Amino acid sequence: MGGSASQLPKEQLAEYQELTFLSKQEILLAHKRFNELTKDERNPPTRVPMDKILALPELKSNPFRKRICHVFSTSEVKDGSLTFEDFLDLLSAFSDSATLEIKSHYAFRIFDFDDDGTLDGGDLEKLVNCLTGDTDDTRLTQEEMRQLITNILEESDIDKDGTVNLSEFQHVISRSPDFVSSFKIVL
Amino acid sequence: MRCKRLYPEEETAGLAVCSRDTIAYRLFHRNEIAFDSFVETQTRHQRVRRHHIWKHSTEQKCQPMSHYYSNEGIGNPAYYESDTLEVDRGFSRGFPHSNPYDAGQGSWHVMGAGVGMGSGGGRGPAEMLPAYSAATVPTPSVGVSRGGWRESWRDSASVLISPVHPSNPPTETPRWQPQQSYTVSMRLLGSRRMSLFPGGAAALDRLGLTEEDIQDEMENEEQDLVKNLVAMSTKDSDTAIRGLPMSFSEKKYIRSQVLAHRSTKQKHQFTCCADCSGQISMFVRRLRAGSGSVRQALALWQGFMKEVSGKFGSGVLSYFLFLKWLLMFNVFSFLVNFGFITIPQLVSGDAFTNTAKFNGLELLTGMGFFNNTIMFYGGYSADVVGQPPNAIYNMQLAYLLTIAVYMVLCGGSLIYSMATSFKSNFVLEGASGGAWTLLCSWDFRVVNERAVRQRKANLAVQLKESLSEKAQQDQLSSSEKLKRVGVHLAIWLLATGLAIGACAAIYFLSAYEQKQIVKGSDAATLLVPFVVSLVNLVVPLIYSLFNKIEHFSNPRMQVYAVIIRNVFLKMSILGILCYYWMNNVAHKPDTCWESSVGQSLYRLVVVDFFFLLLGSFFGEFLSNVIGTTCVPSLGVPEFDIARNVLDLIYSQTLAWISLYFSPLLTVIQIFKFFILFYVKKVSLMHNCQPPRKSGRAAQMQTIFIALLFLPSYVGALSVVAYTVWSLKPSASCGPFRGLRNPFAVVEKWMAVEQDWVVWIYEQVIRSELFFFLISLIVLVLTYFFWQLKEGRRLLIIQLRQRIANEGKDKAFLLEKLQKLQKSNRSSAGKPKTRMNNQRNVSNRQWYAEPGHEEALPDSRPPISESGFGGMRAAIPGSRPPMSESGFGVSESGFGGMRAAVPDMGLNGLRAAVPQSGPPAQLRADPASSTPSGLIQAMLARQQAEQDDDDYDY
């Protein structure tokens, strides 16, 4: 770990520590892992393309991996590529010490597939499909899906506008205590 | 001139009304727009219309509804001048915005780089238009529209936190309460960033907004945020910045802003004290960060924990975390006992003289060779260590106090963990098997490909089950219900009977064992622990068989029933053993009875360990073999978290009870847990599959901690306390020999102590009055908090009701508005072609045209239509019929408002319609009572139009 520590200037490390929920060890580990992604190239780019990030074992089989990359990417061209700081942001949101507020915020954005700021029927359908997988025996039928989405909206859409917005989502999250313990990625 | 007179009037009225006007006012000044020039350049009819609208909205006083909706297109002049804004569209369309979340990210840096009014270099063709540059109109219009957007956000904020009363004098800066407003603005920032650019820039344009407005809006928002952060203490602001839902660079920028603000502030009021405190807090933070890293470096089994969670999810992980936690308890207990009891005993010199020879069986029985060792109570002396005048170490007191302090610390830690766990995991209203609970329970830690596939399949099954359960509910006939209740009763009776039978057997066996010990047969002593462990292994298996017969309506009930039965069994076995020890063994003062109890406990702990290993062999390995080779229908077993955790709780109870009788038994316990960890790990990895039912892991953990506290810790504590307070210690051995009871040590000590200690002892520990007062206070506090809780519960119900009502209100009002809009339009009956003409050909130039006033009314409806169209989208299923082809605008404006309106959601809505009266009344007579600002604003608009017509024609 000494090698990677020397690469990361002390002030930078302190800044990372101040602005994320990660500890020093976690940041150093993240740095190491991030550099490993780009080490085979001569000039390591600041942005690591999405497919390389997705190759990380922690994300490889996550059903939301692409959404996660897109949400945390600050890329101008929306290709889901991550800088190291984006990567830290990702880990910070998924860390142990991140607040429920942050976690639910990012969960909302991850689940908001069409990026329109609310979870509507289409988003929910995609969400359920992501969770159940897309093989035929696990996928819900049209009728089941319709019923499920009605149930979901019944349960969470407090102002009855047909979509679940951020505050409604956070309200729902506050009632499912497992969320915080399961919304975690550890490097 | 009339305008000039009018305007300030409105302005002050507006200011008095609500803080949003203050902000609008501030905005003008911040951007250094000459107010007068704005006034003068406005055309007359606009002025008048404005006047009407503002008047109406001020009549509403602080009804936020009016502000909210007026922003959306009625009270906001931007909508009337949006033809001007049309100019900017050429520019903004070219701006690449597809991701609403990221839209702001670039702009943090653009900000301040000159969002200059009408001076943007890249405006393209707009600048060429003579009408544009000749009239100064665009400038204020941009300003106002910006104000409009601000208002919509501000409104929700100011109403949410600290509604400014109409009577409040207008202040330059609204008096935010730093903490609250921070939360709100953070929230706003988060939601705003999500909702502002839903359909890209094009959609925004339809709302009469430009790129600039948004940027400026963001700048303001950000400035407020920075201001709030600066007002906080360093520590608070750091945590706050960390908690901002922004990207890293944005957080960095905000932090640099805050630091800059702070440093300039400090230049003004620099004090040594502040500097010092800053230094200290920095130091403390560094120290804490450092200790955190050390702790993490020391963290045991980090890699393995990750592996488990990667393959089996959080539920199984919680078992291992629990095991680790218990291990830490025991390590601490060992350190304390060894440091304060054993070391002084060893130092004191009169080490045990052992005559018995070691033959291996002692490792199991704890007798013979170990009889008088420091392992057990009997091995400790009652001496005062050291020479009385200088170094005094009272062994008796140390023995008692060490155990007491450890017990108190344990209790504190348990209560603390229980409270935090309850706080974060306990759900007030049962999340009634809702679909969200399943959807939110996806374990992001699971990384194993196979596990992920399995999880998906499980989740699909669970979702389907939840759907069918919902359909099947309440279909039971009464006879079936009766049958179920009968089965439950029978099984409960059977379970209780089994437990009682086991207890009786153990009691008689214990008596038998005692006789055997007298006879001198060591091996026979293993009978009781063997039977106890066997019962602990077999009876829970029988209990789990009951599950096949019983049918619970709720799977959670089933889990709870199993847990309760198991806990009852284990605790009654321990209870009967303790009863036997206290009643029969303790009344033989000639023998060293404490040591013999200690040895019994030792045997129980050791044999229990072997049975735990056996349990994992039978429970997991064998059923794996059977499931994979013999009876494939059984399948690979799951890791039974509940059973395993209960075993751990049982072991820990033994360890706590043994604290007094055998201070070093924790060593055995540490070894036991350590080995168990690895055995379970191997067994889990090789024999088990991930649990089928996911979810509720966190709640189960809370329950386990509670169980560890309530029967286990409290039971052990009462056994130890009873022993210390009322049992006569054996006369021949141990530190308390010759005393009436162990607690008499404290009294003896008091006799020689200083006055103040005695006083405290007499007045506090032994005083009934003190405890009476304490319990009285606790009762009062409990009652108080209970009342508070009830109040909150009611409040929650009311608020929930209100949100639902407001949602209905919103839908209703929008529908009403839509209808009015339609009827209005059809009665006006303007030719469509004219409108198209207006919009498509040259609506930028109407200012310059001589007949522009005539054209104006036509140019309005399309824009407001787009606004309403968007709002209408908030109503489920009521997409507005795009009746007129010329209104293609609204189609795309849709997305824009669609996100903006619902996203106000709980916050915005609350701000929007809080005082609008009961919805029933509203529905009964919406027009005459005009309960809502929306209706009023709408009427105002109509009136304004009529006025316009009067003027024009």
pLDDT at B675: 92
State the number of CA atoms in the 13 A half-sphere of B641 facing the CB. Answer: 28
Kindly report the number of other CB atoms within 10 A of residue B845's CB atom: 15
pLDDT at A155: 78
Q: Are residues A13 and A87 in the same domain?
A: yes
Encoded tokens for B465: 């089950």
Q: Do A23 and B902 touch (CB under 8 A)?
A: no
- Per residue in B419-464, pLDDT (tens digit) is 888 877 765 545 455 677 777 778 888 887 878 887 787 777 777 7
Q: Residue A59 sits in which domain range?
A: 3-93
- In-domain check, residue A187: no
Q: Do B241 and A78 touch (CB under 8 A)?
A: no
Per-residue pLDDT at B177 exceeds 60: no
Encoded tokens for B538: 């077999």
Encoded tokens for B396: 């008796």
- In-domain check, residue A167: yes
- In-domain check, residue A80: yes
Provide the shortest C-alpha distance from residue A81 to chain B (in Å): 14
- Identity of the residue in B447, B800, B808 whose CB atom sits nearest the CB atom of A61: B447
- Adjacent-strand bridge partners of A164: A119
Q: Are residues A77 and A59 in the same domain?
A: yes
Rounded Cα gap, residues B289 and B283, in angstroms: 10
- Identity of the residue in B190, B456, B803 whose CB atom sits nearest the CB atom of A138: B456
Per-residue confidence band for B714, with pLDDT thresholds at 50, 70 and 90: very high
Q: Do B102 and A165 touch (CB under 8 A)?
A: no
B-facing residues of A in 58-77 (CB < 8 A) are 58-64, 70-72, 74, 76
> How many separate domains does chain A show?
2
- ipTM of the complex as predicted: 0.85
The chain A residue lying nearest B874, using CA atoms, is A161
- In-domain check, residue A12: yes
Tell me which residue of B565, B676, B656, B667 sits closest to B612, measured CA to CA.
B676
Q: Do A118 and B903 touch (CB under 8 A)?
A: yes
Kindly state the average pLDDT of the residues A29-40. Answer: 83
Query: A69, A93, A117 — which closes off a domain?
Result: A93
Q: Establish if A5 touches chain B: CB-CB under 8 angstroms.
A: no
Query: A49, A69, A93 — which closes off a domain?
Result: A93
Q: Are residues A106 and A86 in the same domain?
A: no
Q: Are residues A69 and A22 in the same domain?
A: yes
pTM of the model: 0.65
Go through chain A and tell me how many residues it has: 187
Kindly state the average pLDDT of the residues A93-114. Answer: 87
Kindly report the number of other CB atoms within 10 A of residue B568's CB atom: 15
The chain A residue lying nearest B438, using CA atoms, is A176
Name which of A101, A120, A143, A182 to mutate to probe chain B: the one with the most chain B Cβ atoms within 10 A of its Cβ. Answer: A182
- Per residue in B491-516, pLDDT (tens digit) is 999 999 999 999 999 999 888 887 87
Least reliable range by pLDDT among A5-9, B446-450, B678-682, B854-858: B854-858
- Identity of the residue in A132, A148, A178 whose CB atom sits nearest the CB atom of B697: A178
- In-domain check, residue A27: yes
Provide the shortest C-alpha distance from residue A158 to chain B (in Å): 6
- Per residue in B29-66, pLDDT (tens digit) is 444 333 334 333 343 444 434 444 444 443 443 333 33
Encoded tokens for B364: 């199991």
Provide the CA B561 distance to its chain's centre, in angstroms: 28
Q: Do B902 and A161 touch (CB under 8 A)?
A: yes
Tell me which residue of B289, B186, B287 sits closest to B243, measured CA to CA.
B186
The chain B residue lying nearest A126, using CA atoms, is B439
Q: Are residues A41 and A113 in the same domain?
A: no
Name which of B160, B193, B456 to mutate to probe chain A: the one with the most chain A Cβ atoms within 10 A of its Cβ. Answer: B456
Name which of A178, A180, A183 to mutate to probe chain B: the one with the most chain B Cβ atoms within 10 A of its Cβ. Answer: A178
- Adjacent-strand bridge partners of A82: A48
Rounded Cα gap, residues B361 and B380, in angstroms: 23
From residue B260, give the alpha-carbon distance in Å to each of B265, B567, B852.
8, 60, 50
Per-residue confidence band for A130, with pLDDT thresholds at 50, 70 and 90: confident
Q: Do B247 and A99 touch (CB under 8 A)?
A: no
- Per residue in B378-435, pLDDT (tens digit) is 888 777 665 555 557 788 888 888 999 999 999 999 999 988 888 777 655 454 556 7
Kindly state the average pLDDT of the residues B68-77. Answer: 38
Q: Establish if A116 touches chain B: CB-CB under 8 angstroms.
A: yes
Q: Are residues A36 and A75 in the same domain?
A: yes
Q: Do B903 and A117 touch (CB under 8 A)?
A: yes
Query: A93, A114, A132 — which closes off a domain?
Result: A93
pLDDT at B571: 92
Provide the shortest C-alpha distance from residue A159 to chain B (in Å): 4
- In-domain check, residue A62: yes
Q: Do B440 and A156 touch (CB under 8 A)?
A: no
Q: Establish if A141 touches chain B: CB-CB under 8 angstroms.
A: no
Q: Are residues A58 and A108 in the same domain?
A: no
- In-domain check, residue A158: yes
CB pairs under 8 A between A and B: 254
Q: Do A78 and B807 touch (CB under 8 A)?
A: no
Q: Are residues A57 and A121 in the same domain?
A: no
- Identity of the residue in B313, B429, B903 whose CB atom sits nearest the CB atom of A166: B903
Residues in Cβ contact with B151 at an 8 Å cutoff, skipping those fewer than 6 apart: B20, B23, B24, B67, B70, B71
Q: Do A85 and B98 touch (CB under 8 A)?
A: no
On chain A, the residues whose CB falls within 8 A of the CB of B457 are 132-133, 137-138
Query: Is residue B275 packed enough to be buried (19+ CB in 10 Å), middle (13-18) or exposed (0-12)?
Result: exposed
- Per residue in B801-813, pLDDT (tens digit) is 888 888 788 888 8
Residues in Cβ contact with B506 at an 8 Å cutoff, skipping those fewer than 6 apart: B528, B531, B532, B535, B573, B576, B577
For residue A145, give the CATH number of its domain. 1.10.238.10
